[in-house]
């Protein structure tokens, strides 16, 4: 979870004193620990600077998975889930088995697909699983905050695999999953936050525990009925949480958040993107966008942490702006960066897209707009060749009612009815069109309507030029359009999907999932409804915040696209899946 209205107390077992409430603050995006961040310090003159107690974590800026870990560590008790119902779901399928859940709240979904040895379509789905909140032993599969399901019949039915295995009692899978196919008919990879467990730092001489990101490789049975997983493979170092627990006044806390993953089968390159936050007693960072890469061995189950490169800095932490100077694309100061998504190109080249200046209404940046950025890193590069801080590429430039630098109006400045975090985000999603070599980027913003529209733009190979921005949704209803996902079929058809409220109007919390598949980037197509019924998010119970997640996902295999989203028609959020030829 990325935002909260209060600071949370650290675990009582460590004797850290409670945090104070933040009056009126509901959002942010960088990690705040022990004191105000540079952005908050800027806002102090306007009387908006929240203060934190030593040893406290301000969860306003964290992803759902990261916030869930903080909640559990500090004993926060969200609302109890209501009894499940059993509506008719039609072709929509629950990738999870609710009968196996120990707590209510399975949301924030990811998906990948490939053909098995017999030609069957294998589909793996991942989601945040609130059951991990209530299981004390982090080596118990039920303690995994990342749920996984597998299908051997093209997403028509799923087997709930419960969670990812873990062999380290001091760490725990903590959600924010990403799933990719390794394209060999057998293996998938699942990435997730991998944070300290409740047992971390308690035993004398306990080993280090980190707030980091890890990957697990899955070997799937030929019929898609089961899967075995590797032990967690940490992709990058953070800091030792135990040092912070022992001495919060002087220790630096580092957290890796909001991971995503992509794979290039031609070079066997596995790429993982994330945001790095740093915090000391006197200063906090605004989010550094990074990416790591690994060469996957012939037997993917032999992948190890040492295979990953040192993190390449895609966009560095921005310094605080000088007094009286607002943040901007020119000054490149004071803006929070988060929501990095990576895609790979043949040969191991990578593209990364992210949102700059998120939560600007509360960060004190002084700039009311957000910017969709992209960067390109060749296979062997340790920094962007195009699109980094030295040569920024703003994909959102030219939007109506924006500014000349590419800033657009944000759903992060809108309280969304039924969304229990309140405020949204505009994270851009990115994929590669194998037919054209172009990168395809989609996002939501409030350029035309307060509750958003879905936008699509292509970028030529190596970010050498921008295509024309297209609006994807074909309605002008003023209803919510939120959290798009995108993939490309083998013939170049671009499929986008998103949450949509056009059927019930802008003043309703009843939500559907819609899609559009266009033959080319510039050729619009009719939108279609994916959900077979609407979810009333104002009356859906959840331990997870946000209740329907920070993102959705879709994946294309040949001429078929599989879609996944959080659905509340069972009374609690569930990871639903459907497909369209």
Q: DSSP letters along 98-164, please?
A: GGG-SSS-EEEEEEEEEE-TTS-EEEEEEEEEGGGGS-S-TTSGGG-SEEEEEESSSSSS-EE--S-
What is the per-residue pLDDT for 508?
A: 97
Torsion sign over Cα 52, 55, 61, 65 = negative
Asked if the model's pLDDT at residue 510 lies above 90, the reply is: yes
Which CATH number fits the domain 409-581, given the four candidates 1.10.10.10, 2.120.10.10, 2.40.10.10, 1.10.300.10?
A: 2.120.10.10
Question: By C-alpha distance, which of 70, 81, 94, 230 is closest to 145?
Answer: 70
Question: 553 pairs with which residues across the strands?
Answer: 564
Whether the predicted pLDDT of 410 surpasses 50: yes
Nearest partner of 136 among 44, 183, 199, judged by Cα: 199
Does 72 score more than 90 pLDDT?
no
Q: What does the pLDDT read at residue 80?
A: 52
Cα distance between residue 324 and residue 364, in whole Å: 11
pLDDT of 41 reads 38
Q: Find where tokens 């939007």 sit.
A: 399
Confidence (pLDDT) at 248? 92
Is residue 370 within 8 Å of residue 446, measured between CB atoms?
A: no
- Count CB atoms within 10 A of the CB of residue 200: 25
Give percent above pLDDT 70 in the chain: 87
Q: What is the mean pLDDT of residues 51-76?
A: 65
The neighbour count for residue 255, using CB atoms within 10 Å, is 30
Domain positions in the chain: 100-246, 409-581
* Cα–chain center distance at 580: 24
Give the tens place of pLDDT for each residue, 433-467: 999 999 999 999 999 999 999 999 999 999 999 99
pTM metric for this prediction: 0.87
* Confidence check: pLDDT of 6 > 90: no
- Which range, of 66-75, 326-335, 447-456, 514-523, averages the lowest pLDDT? 66-75
Q: Over 80: is that where the pLDDT of 11 sits?
A: no
pLDDT tens-place string over residues 94-142? 999 999 999 999 999 999 999 999 999 999 999 999 999 999 999 999 9
| Residue 534 buriedness (CB in 10 A; 0-12 / 13-18 / 19+) | buried
- For 216-257, the pLDDT digits (tens) are 999 999 999 999 999 999 999 999 999 999 999 999 999 999
The answer for 287, left when phi > 0, alpha when psi is -120 to 50, beta otherwise, is left
Which of the 8 DSSP states describes residue 408?
B
Which of 19, 99, 111 has the alpha carbon at shortest distance from 59? Answer: 19
Q: Supply the pLDDT for residue 7.
A: 28
Q: What is the pLDDT of residues 529-557, one digit of tens each?
A: 999 999 999 999 999 999 999 999 999 99
Give the pLDDT confidence score for residue 75 in this predicted structure. Answer: 61
């Amino acid at each position: 979870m990325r935002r909260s209205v209060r600071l949370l107390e650290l675990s009582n077992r460590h004797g850290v004193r409670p945090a104070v409430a933040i009056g009126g603050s509901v959002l942010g995006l960088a990690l705040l620990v022990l004191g105000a961040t540079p952005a908050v310090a800027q806002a102090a003159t306007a009387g908006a600077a929240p203060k934190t107690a030593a040893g406290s974590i301000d969860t306003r800026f964290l992803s759902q998975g990261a916030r869930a870990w903080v909640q559990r560590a500090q004993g926060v008790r969200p609302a109890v889930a209501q009894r499940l119902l059993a509506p008719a779901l039609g072709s929509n399928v629950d990738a999870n088995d609710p009968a196996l859940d120990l707590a209510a709240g399975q949301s924030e979904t990811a998906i990948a697909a490939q053909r098995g040895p017999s030609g069957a379509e294998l589909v793996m789905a991942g989601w945040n699983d609130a059951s991990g909140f209530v299981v004390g032993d982090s080596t118990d599969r039920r303690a995994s905050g990342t749920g996984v399901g597998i299908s051997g019949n093209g997403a028509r039915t799923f087997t709930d695999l419960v969670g990812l295995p873990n062999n380290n009692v001091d760490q725990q899978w903590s959600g924010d999953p990403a799933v990719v196919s390794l394209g060999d008919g057998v293996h998938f990879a699942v990435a997730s936050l991998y944070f300290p467990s409740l047992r971390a730092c308690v035993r004398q001489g306990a080993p280090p525990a980190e707030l980091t990101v890890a990957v697990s490789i899955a070997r799937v049975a030929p019929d898609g009925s089961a899967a075995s997983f590797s032990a967690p493979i940490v992709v990058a170092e953070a800091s030792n949480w135990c040092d912070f627990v022992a001495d919060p006044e002087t220790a630096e806390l580092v957290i890796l958040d909001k991971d995503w993953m992509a794979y290039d089968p031609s070079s066997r390159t596995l790429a993982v993107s994330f945001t790095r936050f740093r915090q000391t007693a006197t200063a906090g960072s605004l989010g550094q966008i990074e990416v790591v890469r690994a060469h996957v061995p012939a037997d993917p189950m032999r992948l190890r942490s040492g295979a990953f490169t040192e993190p390449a800095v895609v966009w560095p932490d921005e310094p605080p702006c000088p007094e009286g100077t607002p943040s901007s694309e020119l000054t490149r100061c004071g803006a929070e960066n988060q929501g990095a998504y990576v895609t790979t190109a043949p040969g191991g080249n990578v593209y990364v897209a992210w949102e700059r200046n998120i939560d600007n209404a509360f960060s004190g940046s002084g700039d009311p707009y957000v910017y969709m950025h992209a960067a390109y890193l060749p296979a062997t590069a340790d920094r962007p060749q195009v699109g980094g801080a030295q040569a920024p590429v703003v994909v959102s430039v030219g939007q109506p009612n924006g500014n000349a630098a590419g800033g657009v109006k944000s759903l992060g400045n809108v309280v969304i009815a039924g969304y229990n975090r309140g405020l949204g985000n505009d994270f851009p999603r990115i994929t590669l069109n194998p037919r054209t070599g172009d990168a395809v980027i989609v996002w939501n913003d409030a350029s035309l309507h307060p509750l958003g529209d879905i936008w699509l733009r292509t970028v030529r190979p190596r970010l050498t030029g921008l295509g024309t921005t297209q609006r994807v949704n074909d309605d002008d209803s003023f209803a919510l359009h939120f959290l798009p996902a995108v993939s490309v079929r083998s013939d170049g058809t671009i499929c986008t999907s998103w949450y949509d409220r056009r059927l019930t109007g802008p003043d309703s919390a009843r939500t559907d999932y819609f899609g559009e598949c266009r033959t080319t980037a510039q050729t619009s197509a009719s939108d279609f409804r994916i959900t077979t019924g609407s979810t009333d998010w104002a009356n859906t119970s959840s331990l997870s915040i946000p209740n329907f997640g920070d993102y959705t996902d879709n994946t294309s295999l040949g001429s078929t696209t599989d879609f996944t989203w959080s659905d509340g028609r069972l009374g609690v959020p569930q990871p639903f899946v459907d497909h369209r030829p």
